[in-house]
Each structure stands twice: as C-alpha cells, then as structure tokens.
Amino acid sequence: MPELPDVTVYREALERHVVGLPLERVRLVSMFVLRSVDPPVEAVTGRVVRGVRRVGKRVVLAFDGELFLVLHLMIAGRLRWRTPAQKPGVAAKGLLASFHFPAGTLYFTEAGTRKRASLMVVRGEAALAALDPGGIEPLAATLEQFREALTRENHTVKRSLTDPHLFSGIGNAYSDEILHAARLSPLKQTRLLGDDEIARLHEATRVTLNSWTDILRREVGQGFPETVTAFREGMAVHGRFGKPCPVCEAPVQRIVYAENECNYCARCQTGGKLLADRSLSRLLKDDWPRSIDDL
C-alpha cells in the first residue's frame, strides 16, 4: 500500500501537472470503484483543480465550490499520468477510471481482482474531515504528542505505528524500516516502552519518513511516479527476508500473518531472540530456534 512518502510524492506531482487546470471529463471503467452517490462524480466535470492534499493515505483533488475528489489507493491502486502525445501503455492495464485534463490524462489503476481501491466525491470541509481516521501527522508531532498517541492503547509497537487512528500515513513497509532504525522489537508492548525508547522511535520515524520522501522525490524529479512499490532497493529489512542486515549482517527475519509480513533483524532489534511465527513455530514446536545463533 502506498504510504506517506509515496502519497506525498504523488501529491507533489499532481500539483505540478493538474493544479489550475479544468477536469474536462471523468471516465469510469469499473463502477465498483465509485463509493459515493451525492454529489455525483459528474459534479467535478468542468471545474478547476485548486489544490491537492494528502488525507492519511488518500490523495485528494480540491475543486471550486468545496468539492473534493478522494482517491484511496489501498494496496494495489496506482496513479499514472500520460500527455496527449503519449500512448497509455501500462497505464491502461487494470484501469478503474481516467481523468482527462487539457495537458494530459490521469489514469487510476489497480492490479489484481480484489478491487479495493476507491474514489469518492464529497462536498465541504466537514465531509472531507469525516474521512480522516484521525491519526496524528508523524512528521509534525512533537515528542509529547508522539508519546501520547503511541501509548494511548497498549498494543505492539508495530500495530500502533500502522494504526491510522493513531498515526497518519504509516503502513507495513515503513513501520518495518522505522523499527529497525529505532532498534526496537516490533512486538514490544507500547506501554512497556521507556522514555529513551520512545524518543528513539520518534526520531527514527521522522528520519525514516523524511529520508524516503527525499529519495522518491529525486527519483521522480519533475515527472510523475511510475514505480510505486513497498519493496525498494536500499530498504534495511522490509521485503529482505534471509538477506543480510545492513548494520550487523545477520539474516533478516520475518513473521507472517494474514496478508502481511513483519521483517526485522533479531540481532539489532530483539537481542538475538527469534520472534515466534504463529504458524511455523507451532508446526516446529520444540524444534523452533530460539535465537539467531541457533540458526
């Protein structure tokens, strides 16, 4: 799922490409993508884009008359831009909707068949605010604000960081990177964290998100993001199971759950202890290795 750095770069690219232009036509290819009825999607046709916002992991186009077009990419949704001189190419694959401007077309696509990505049209700031889960902006939060959100409920650190009601824009990929940078176990309970650990986590969150946003900005330049993925060259642990940790060279470990996996370095983050994988550790029972050295 595109997270804060990815959505920020999308927002900045859209500001360069469509702000100040009228939306000439909206074409819905999949009717399942539209999740609102009133105002109708036709209400934004002919209106000028006045700004682009990020609301959590959503991309929002703001139009005249306090109308907002809200795009939620979910896991596999992506945005692609093509000028009139360019052929759609890969942009037409998995197409959900297209938005036609004088300078080009914005394609809204989704890989796979689950159709989780969505678009909505809402009217007024209050209606837009109602879509925000309410998590604090991690890059703007003071240490005390960060501490309050983190310890509001007693969850694992991984779960709290990825809870949109607590923190805005952080998902599975960047939470792995943040926790590795902070040298914290993903399964440590938030209310058991010491002051120094919370301070480390706060700093690691800021540094990691800012660093990756800058990396993605340099990749895109003045163009439009074409390769938005949760698995990037240069990540420390996310998606790098079995590969050496860039800090200590121990093999990166993982916990698989539902449709996600949590990647971590046992030597850097858990004092060498291997965290139990619910399925594999139950299968191996006494044969489950307890530490990185047992491997």
Band the pLDDT of 260: cuts 50, 70, 90.
Answer: confident
Average pLDDT over residues 65-94: 88
Structure-model confidence comparison of residues 272 and 115, the more confident one: 272
Average pLDDT over residues 16-45: 95
Band the pLDDT of 282: cuts 50, 70, 90.
Answer: very low
Domain boundary among 97, 129, 161: 129
Look at residue 219 and tell me if it is in a domain.
Answer: yes
Helix (H) or strand (E) run with residue 11 in it: helix 4-18
Average pLDDT over residues 54-80: 96
Residues near 172 by beta carbon (within 8 Å), at least 6 away in sequence: 1, 162, 230, 238, 260, 261, 262
Q: Has residue 286 got a pLDDT over 70?
A: no
Length in residues, the chain: 295
Amino acid 108: pLDDT: 96
Domain around 108: 4-129
pTM for this entry? 0.92
- Of 86-95, 137-146, 164-173, 241-250, the range with the lowest mean pLDDT is 86-95
- The structure tokens listed for 255 are 């916990």
Verify that 122 and 153 share a domain, yes or no. no
Q: What is the CATH number of the domain that holds 170?
A: 1.10.8.50
State the average pLDDT for the chain: 91
Verify that 149 and 285 share a domain, yes or no. yes
How many Å is the maximal CA-CA distance in the chain? Answer: 66
Verify that 228 and 274 share a domain, yes or no. yes
Look at residue 255 and tell me if it is in a domain.
Answer: yes
Q: Has residue 283 got a pLDDT over 70?
A: no
Verify that 118 and 171 share a domain, yes or no. no
Look at residue 88 and tell me if it is in a domain.
Answer: yes
Structure-model confidence comparison of residues 80 and 258, the more confident one: 80
Q: Has residue 281 got a pLDDT over 50?
A: no
Verify that 154 and 31 share a domain, yes or no. no
**pLDDT over 70 for what percent of the chain?**
92
Verify that 182 and 284 share a domain, yes or no. yes
Verify that 259 and 179 share a domain, yes or no. yes
Look at residue 92 and tell me if it is in a domain.
Answer: yes
Q: What is the CATH number of the domain that holds 71?
A: 3.20.190.10
Verify that 81 and 168 share a domain, yes or no. no
Neighbours of 26 (CB within 10 A): 21
Verify that 38 and 60 share a domain, yes or no. yes
Within its chain, how far is the Cα of 207 from the centroid?
16
Helix (H) or strand (E) run with residue 31 in it: none
Q: Has residue 229 got a pLDDT over 90?
A: no
Q: Has residue 131 got a pLDDT over 90?
A: yes
Q: Has residue 194 got a pLDDT over 90?
A: yes
Verify that 79 and 174 share a domain, yes or no. no
Amino acid 177: pLDDT: 98
Amino acid 284: pLDDT: 37
Neighbours of 89 (CB within 10 A): 10
Band the pLDDT of 280: cuts 50, 70, 90.
Answer: very low
Amino acid 288: pLDDT: 43
Amino acid 295: pLDDT: 56
Per-residue exposure over 185-211, b if at least 16 CB sit within 10 Å of its own CB, e if not: bbbbebeebeeebbebbbebbbebbee
**pLDDT over 90 for what percent of the chain?**
82
Residue linked to tokens 């990419």:
73
Average pLDDT over residues 66-92: 88
Verify that 174 and 204 share a domain, yes or no. yes
Look at residue 79 and tell me if it is in a domain.
Answer: yes
Instruction: Count structural domains, the chain.
Output: 2
pLDDT per residue over 135-184, tens digit each? 999 999 999 999 999 999 999 999 999 999 999 999 999 999 999 999 99
Band the pLDDT of 231: cuts 50, 70, 90.
Answer: confident
**Which residue, among 126, 140, 181, 133, has the nearest Cα to 157 in the 3D structure?**
181
- Please name the residue ranges forming H helices in 54-194: 125-129, 143-150, 157-161, 172-182
